[in-house]
Structure 1
Amino acid sequence: MDAVVNHLLAMPSWLALLLIFALPALEASAFLGFVFPGETALIIGGVLASQGRLSLAAVLVAGIGGALVGDSIGYAVGRRWGRRILHTTLGRFVRAEHLQRAEDALSVRGGWTVFVGRFTAALRVLVPGLAGMGRLSYRTFLFYNVAGAVIWGTLMVVAGYVAGSNWHRVAHLFSGAGLVLTVLVICAFVVVQVLRRRRRADSTDG
């Protein structure tokens, strides 16, 4: 990953901006996020803006726009082809536990999973396609996708802008935070499931 980042930092400004759009766009639509998280591209975009090589506004538009386009494509692909994608070579990048967690979270919280999933690498890659597979309303998906992309994209770019040459620390911090958030999502799902079972048991006993 460091080699990719170094190439990004050394690229001509217009090409770097193109990749700042393309990498988040490919994250969920082509499962690229399992190899190169889109958040890293946005953080590096913020670094380039802090160096005066790119406009901060241009980086924000490119990064957020790429995230929105990529997730919409991921949703459409999931809706059209569904699990067939997971049974191809691309499916090898998807861990069974990540897939199950994303499906479980979507079944319980729907749109909110789209929003929260934006901030965790594993869910960010899987949720758009699974939302399409699960026939979540595109209007609902779009609303939460836009909200998540704007907040997440702005946070990543500004973090890179402020961190500058210390971007490694910021990337590591957000990676750890994403892991913690994933664990919290799973715990919340377990709690909801336990409470539902207790309610069903109580209503049956009553």
Structure 2
Amino acid sequence: MTVESLLQAIPPLTVYAVVGAVVGIESLGIPLPGEIVLVSAALLSSHHELAVNPIGVGVAGVIGAAVGDSIGYTVGRRLGMPLFDRLGRRFPKHFGPGHVAFAERLFDRWGMRAVFFGRFIALLRIFAGPLAGALKMRYPRFLSANVAGAICWAGGTTALVYYAGVAAERWLERSSWIALIVAVVAGLIAAALLRERTSRVIAALEAEHYRTSDTPTAS
């Protein structure tokens, strides 16, 4: 059985459900590869021999992002900042003091724009909803930025990847899947470089947090 026949056997509704679920769970505050799943589904939709529709992929991504962020907001508003202390102890690689400080710094600087632009930053995709709730951001403001960010991120990413895949298919015909793989690898490399830069900032903030906490207070 070829790769293409395997892909054709995947029901489109399953693809949409996976996109919505993974993006939604990531937006809720659980680290999952939402962007990779969205990009992969958009690539599938660009192959005209498959039944996956790019509009279905984009809509699933928007709904998953908006609903997941809203649930995360509700959890953060009810539990407050102590939620991140508990998560930091259990999942230090994702919710350590440096991660929380970095996200708080972005929220302090950008306000509700952090919710919108957070869709495009891996760390803030996890933190935006719960942190906005914990910081008591007004829900109408949060919701407008959340939905706008979800539409631009999920819709824009799907459209960009879809048209890139279509162009690659036209240019290379039988070798179109090679071009798609190259595009995915290039995207992953760019994401890895951005993640590395963010990790350096987080590490510096975490070191500063521990230096401050270890400094004895004057009696």
Instruction: For 2:68, give the aligned amino acid.
Output: G
CA distance in 2, matches of 1:58, 1:178: 29
Q: TM-score, normalised by structure 2?
A: 0.69
Output the CA distance in 2 between the equivalents of 1:120 and 1:83: 21
CA contact (8 A) 1:43 1:159 kept: no
Change (3 A) 1:158 1:54: same
Alpha-carbon displacement from aligned partner over 1:22-50 (angstroms, at most 9, x marks no partner): 01100021413xxx321111111211211
Match of 2:17 in 1: 18
Root-mean-square deviation (CA, aligned residues, Å) is 2.9
Partner-residue secondary structure (3-state), 1:135: coil
Q: Give the match for residue 200 of structure 1.
A: none
Query: What do the CA deviations read for 1:123-150 (whole angstroms, capped 9, x no partner)?
Result: 1111211100000011111111111111
Tell me which residue corresponds to 1:61: 59
Kindly tell me: are residues 91 and 158 of structure 1, through their superposed partners in 2, closer, same or farther at Cα, counting changes over 3 Å?
same
Q: 2 CA distance for matches of 1:14 and 1:158?
A: 19
CA distance in 1, matches of 2:158, 2:37: 9
Residues 137/9 of structure 1: CA separation in 2 closer, same or farther (3 Å cut): farther
Q: Are 2:102 and 1:101 equivalent residues in the alignment?
A: yes
Q: Which has the larger radius of gyration?
A: 2
> Within 1, Cα distance between the matches of 2:14 and 2:111?
36
Q: Distance in 2 between matches of 1:30 and 1:119?
A: 15
Number of residue pairs matched?
Answer: 176
The amino acid across from 2:60 in the alignment is A
Q: Specify every segment of 5 or more residues in structure 2 that has no aligned partner in the other structure, as ranges.
A: 1-5, 166-179, 203-219
CA contact (8 A) 2:8 2:51 kept: no
Tell me how far apart the structure 1 counterparts of residues 44 and 131 of structure 2 sit (CA, whole Å). Answer: 34
User: Aligned with 1:145: secondary structure?
Assistant: helix
The 1-side partners of 2:154 and 2:161 are apart by: 11
Q: Give the TM-score of the pair, scaled to structure 1.
A: 0.73
Q: Is the 8 A contact 1:9 1:44 kept in 2?
A: no
Relative to structure 2, which stretch is displaced further, 73-82 or 163-172?
163-172
In the alignment, structure 1 residue 29 sits paired with structure 2 residue 28: yes
CA distance in 1, matches of 2:8, 2:187: 15
Of residues 168, 185, 195 in structure 1, which corresponds to 2:184? Answer: 168
